[in-house]
Amino acid sequence: MYSRTRCYRSYGLEHSEVMETTEAQTLQVRISIDVGDMHYEGAGSVEEIVPQVMQFLIQAVPAYDVARKLIYLPDLAGLADKVSEFARMTSTGQLLLTRIDLPAERAIAVLLFMAQLANKMGKRPSDSLSIEEISTGVGRAPKTIRNLLVQIQKSGLIDRADRGRYRITSKGLMELERSLTDLRNGGKS
């Protein structure tokens, strides 16, 4: 599959950004950015190109570097890599915990992150999960899950999406990322 997309940005870019992608094992991207009299052109995998684009933007738009330090933008690919030690997603979008030793609060966060990721990938119609889906995924009774969800929601780590459905917040993503990094490094956080 081959596609061409034009993205027009309003952050001082004078020209359009053009991306070409092909579907293979690794997504290949070609990008061209013009900011004032500065120009960037690159091609390669997403993992190779994103850091180069970030560096170009830091040089081309100095205020971008300041904003990048202050604004939290979750690294979904990095977080997915960390979460892959604890959970998997089937080709149909079903979410499965692979580790039963996770505390229930962390297991809930992992499942809600996976639901968000599955939604972004087009594998699930919603980025939220019902109490029943969470209960089944975590392996705890629905009443226990309801009580935990109230506590987690009060801390701002999740939001109620619809009646009986919950999704992870940016704060929840940040906390999940931190706690999984701590767990990887041998901490108990």
Over residues 127-183, the pLDDT tens digits come to: 999 999 999 999 999 999 999 999 999 999 999 998 889 999 999 999 999 988 887
Query: Rounded to whole angstroms, how far apart are CA atoms 27 and 155?
Result: 37
Query: Rounded to whole angstroms, how far apart are CA atoms 33 and 99?
Result: 43
Evaluate if residue 22 carries a pLDDT over 80.
Answer: no
Is residue 118 within 8 Å of residue 166, measured between CB atoms? Answer: no
Query: Rounded to whole angstroms, how far apart are CA atoms 108 and 167?
Result: 10
| Enclosing H/E stretch for 159 | strand 158-162
Q: Tell me, what's the pLDDT at 188?
A: 53
Report the predicted TM-score, pTM, of the whole model to 2 decimal places. Answer: 0.66
Number of Cβ within a 10 Å radius of residue 95: 23
**Comparison of pLDDT for 29 and 11, the residue scoring more:** 29
